[in-house]
Amino acid sequence: MSKTMETIIKIDGAEYPVRQTMAALVDFREATGKEAYEITGLSDACRMLYYQVRATAEADGRAFDMDFRTFALRVTPEDIQRWGEAVNAENAKGSKKKTTVKK
């Protein structure tokens, strides 16, 4: 199993780990009807970040009871941009690695 990059986002002084998870991708798709590669604007990116934070907390067994509206009120466009840059940098590194699929 490959290790997924984890970043930290601060919301109201609290730190929340963020990892890309399948659960978040599924939640985003169910909420928006879009796949991750179809994200085109800040509102989509904010929603994806929300689902990533929520799914990471769930996977780690931590409470995260913030709804999307509250989350969107507390994060800034700069927070979303920094997260997006970190994800894009990690994806670029990953695309340069040779991948082997075992059967």
One-character DSSP codes across 15-61: EEEEE--HHHHHHHHHHHS--GGG--SHHHHHHHHHHHHHHHHHHTT
Give me the pLDDT at residue 93, please: 76
What's the burial of 101, exposed, middle or buried (CB within 10 Å: 0-12/13-18/19+)? exposed
Mean pLDDT within 54-78 = 95
Mean pLDDT computed over every residue of the chain: 86
Whole-model pTM: value is 0.83
> Residue 95 — pLDDT band, cuts 50, 70, 90?
low
Q: Domain boundaries in the chain? A: 6-96
Mean pLDDT within 24-36 = 95
Give me the pLDDT at residue 103, please: 42
